[in-house]
Structure 1
């Protein structure tokens, strides 16, 4: 039972709840604990915290939700205003929306699939608020009511309204912590001279090394409004598709996006970074590495030829394999057939006394590391 607004017990609960959110960025399971307390104090089945991007949900956490709840939300496009009546009722930051607003939105347009979804998951009613909105992403908080809880009461909405500023401050603190992690990752990549661009959970550039910056330009890649773009339409389409797959965690296989960089080739490798528990999407989610294989490894190939008794052509093949390229990519970079690379490898195996490509690569990487010191 929620205490009357203005009573000492009520104020004590608001203070306790604010304290839980203040500690959430620092405590293990702190956010889950604070959101469950919010659900309890508003008589709700569950509480929800989410960030919606232009194309993707950066995060969407619902306490005590069915395992299929979030996956189905993504599948039906629940972040879209034409699907989700809650998104359609989004108001200015720190303004409440609740059942009266949901009913108005559903009277104009009702997505039956989404309505069936929230009813099956017992989350048709509730109260929500946009906490903040910046270009490309909206941060929202909600208390979800099902059939058992029924529509929200005025007292429950007042608790929700009172605690929202504390939740926003906690999110800002989480933002600071995650951006510090992004800076540390960028610094590590910088020290390794890696040409890398980091993207957050909604696809915005959140970090870039100087080596990557040097490779950007009108003929390769550009950053516009915080988003990575390619000039050529076909490359742009492939780039955005790969980034979208990586954001969704469904990118698979080696990168196959090639750009012409001056007189050489530039290979883009787009991969999903490991997701951390309770990451708000500020931390890097995708890494785009840019490689100029032959330009980088000519010196290494010369050293490999000397150390391993290979011709320069054979050493270039080994150097490219040591970078992680497949035989098909090696053939393309050297403008020869895959059969030629396979034939060269037979000779290289004999010269180096190995039977497998993995053994050869291990030796080559050791040699490259020694001569690079």
Structure 2
């Protein structure tokens, strides 16, 4: 237990020999050191998991997690150890405010990878939906590339069929007129097979030949257009089949999925904020403990030590100034003596 306590005292950034002269403060600084240590440990786990999702290499995740955790641990230790207890609360708060802002930023950074792990099942389901949307978008872009030509070919087919239909209607009309002229139900109303009937029959036969010619020609065009459409459809299918369907599983994709989930679900959004606030509370706890705790014997000893160092520094500077002045005075006197000897 003594080793663990001493380790936590080291984590707090306190000067242990000086702290031993104020034993009533050891529990407070051991608690601060424990909070700093576990914050660094959570940062190591968070950073390691984040790198695992990117590179999927366990050794790289362990190495980066250890480096990241040590960096956060050292930074938190510096933040807490650099805070000095003063006489006024607001003076302390002004000095602690930049450190609190930095602690909040660190908390938000280390909380994100752990949030991704906590909501992993929901994120995996959202990633599948995102993959399907991405694949659908890719397929739509491929189809859009060929859609103009397919539309043009379908319009040409409709035009060819319409021309054949119109010519067939004209042929049928002329044949009906010739038939009515022949049986006396239309035209001149005289039942005969005379010149008028022959003229109408000739027009109907000519229309029939034009219809047959146009129908054969347009049917050939329609067959060509349909073959080109079929070839285009085959090209679209092959292009879609050759699309690279990478699985969305990277860190950025998971962050995007988590954003979709928080936007769509109020419970997940609240849970997400609660996790962030929890990490902010953990990260800022040492700073707040140091800020709200009353001034203790350790703070007095530390202030005396710093003041003694400052006084010693000033005394040393004054002594150096005096020695410098003496050397200058002696040098000046020696210089005047040499001048007198030369001029005398």
TM range (shorter): under 0.3
Which protein has the bigger helix share? 2
Which protein has the bigger strand share? 1
| Larger relative contact order (Cα-Cα within 8 Å, sequence gap ≥ 6) | 2
Q: TM-score, normalised by structure 1?
A: 0.20
